[in-house]
Amino acid sequence: MARILLWFPHAFHRQRMGSQQGAMKLLKGLLSTGHEIHIASGTYPVGSGMEWNSEGFAAMEAAGVKSVHVHRSMLDDMIGLALRKRDERTGRVRPLDSWAYAPPLLRKWFGRLAARIRPDILVVNYASSDTLVEASGFDRSRCILDLPDLVLVNKAMRRFLSRNLPPGPLDPATAPDRILDLECFAGMEAGAGSEEVDICARYGRVLSVSRREADLVDARGGSAVHLPVSMAPVPLDNSWSGRAILATGPNSFNAQGYLWFAAKVLPLVRAKVPEFELGITGALCPSLSPLDGVVPMGFVENISDIYRDARFSICPVFGGTGQQVKIVESMAHGVPVVALSGPARESPIRHGINGSICGNEEAFAEACVGLWNDAELRRSRGLAARAAVSEEASDTRYRGEVARIVEDVLGAGR
């Protein structure tokens, strides 16, 4: 039995964010190998939803994790957290070896922990964790890098939005044209991502949710595996008779996507379907300015309750990196998705079969109107969406791939 040490920067027993969902999927994949799993993690403030507590430790023990080690925040950790929060406000993009990602005392702690556990494989999340691997002295060829997205590219996009998103409530009437331009992020991947991709290419294996980002790593001489977000299909007695749905998380890309839809698409849809309503769930709700046709639904404890009656869902997001988890989530619940071509490219959507892929506001509006007015179309595409997740993005397939990769890395190290 091999020992595997998994680093993730915060607690993930609560599945509130896509990153937490992804970490739990990865953990389950590692546990399925039958090897001994240890977790190393950092500390976040109480109430953040990312802090470790008795519930989290109990959940890991119940799952079969051998041990969980949390670095208790010291002064430099608090400074690092403050720097990251300030960067989110100002849009600053720091190099990957910055204090903001892994302060010196965290690096020392991680190195000592790795020396004590003596893992056969080290699994880390994000290229920003590379300084921890360096501090441990671990051979990167025996490391697996989980790559949910490219940190520096993502931060460059966020910097653009932090400088251009207007303050106050989200109102499409005050949104500047530059953030509504579908090409506003053009060129950022080539500019910001080269350093990060070079780091990724040093690892024994890179697990990338994005096929495009996996190809970038391979092109630099790395060994990347495209392993998209997995999800178990959810059996629901769907009615497909309620509102359209936009499920949101706490990031500026959701705000930008909503503003684009509200400014560019919603008027076209309501001109043909005056009764059209879009229900919005999650983090964006408190920031919404009142708007006809938009219904804030707040945080929902059980998202299945929303998807059960949803006519369809939309993904108007066109910023960010990695893969849109909400697309897979909707499809797993049997709800077809109307999405822009960027995020749809990294999803199980097949245009005209289980959803719609759109390149501009006119096509997006046409797809929304078509689904709103056609109950049989919603049903057939919803059933096809759930089947696609079962075939292409199942938990079973994901766990099998993770197990295969672990054995490959173990074999290479012998």
Q: Nearest-5° angle of CA 123, CA 191, CA 92?
A: 75
Pick out the chain residues at pLDDT < 50. none
Do 9 and 99 lie in one domain? The reply is yes
Domain match, 206 and 274 both = no
Whether 139 maps to a domain, the answer reads: yes
**CATH number of the domain encompassing residue 382:** 3.40.50.2000
Q: Within this chain, do residues 257 and 204 fall inside the same structural domain, yes or no?
A: no
Neighbours of 199 (CB within 10 A): 24
Residue 359 covered by a domain:
yes
Residues 273 and 197 occupy one common structural domain = no
Each residue's pLDDT tens digit, 249-276: 878 999 999 999 999 999 999 999 999 9
Q: Is residue 160 assigned to a domain?
A: no
For residue 296, give the 3-state DSSP assignment: strand
In a domain, 159, yes or no: no
Q: 98 and 111 share a domain?
A: yes
Same domain for 214 and 253, yes or no, is no
- 404 plus 307 within the same structural domain: no
Phi-psi region of 183 (alpha: psi -120 to 50; beta: other; left: phi over 0): alpha
Asked whether residue 80 falls in the same domain as residue 206, the answer is: yes
**What pLDDT sits at residue 46?**
67
What residue numbers bound the domain in which 388 lies?
A: 244-392
Kindly state whether residues 248 and 349 are assigned to the same domain. yes
- What 3-state DSSP class applies to 146? strand
Output the pLDDT for position 177: 96
Considering its fold, how many domains does the chain have in total? 2
The span from the CA of 230 to the CA of 394, in Å, is 5
Residues 303 and 225 grouped into a single domain:
no
Residue 226 belongs to some domain of the structure = yes
pTM above 0.85, yes or no: no
Are 279 and 316 part of one and the same domain? yes
Chain position carrying tokens 């400088």 = 163
Q: Which pLDDT score is estimated for 163? A: 87
C-alpha 5/C-alpha 256 separation (Å) is 37
Q: What does the DSSP assignment read for 389-413?
A: HHHHS-HHHHHHHHHHHHHHHHHHH
The answer to whether position 74 is within a domain reads yes
Asked if residue 237 is part of any domain, the answer here is: no
Q: Looking at the structure, do residues 321 and 372 belong to the same domain, yes or no?
A: yes
pLDDT value of position 393: 76
Q: Give domain status of residue 137, yes or no.
A: yes
Say what angle helices 104-117 and 75-90 make with each other, to 10 degrees.
Answer: 120
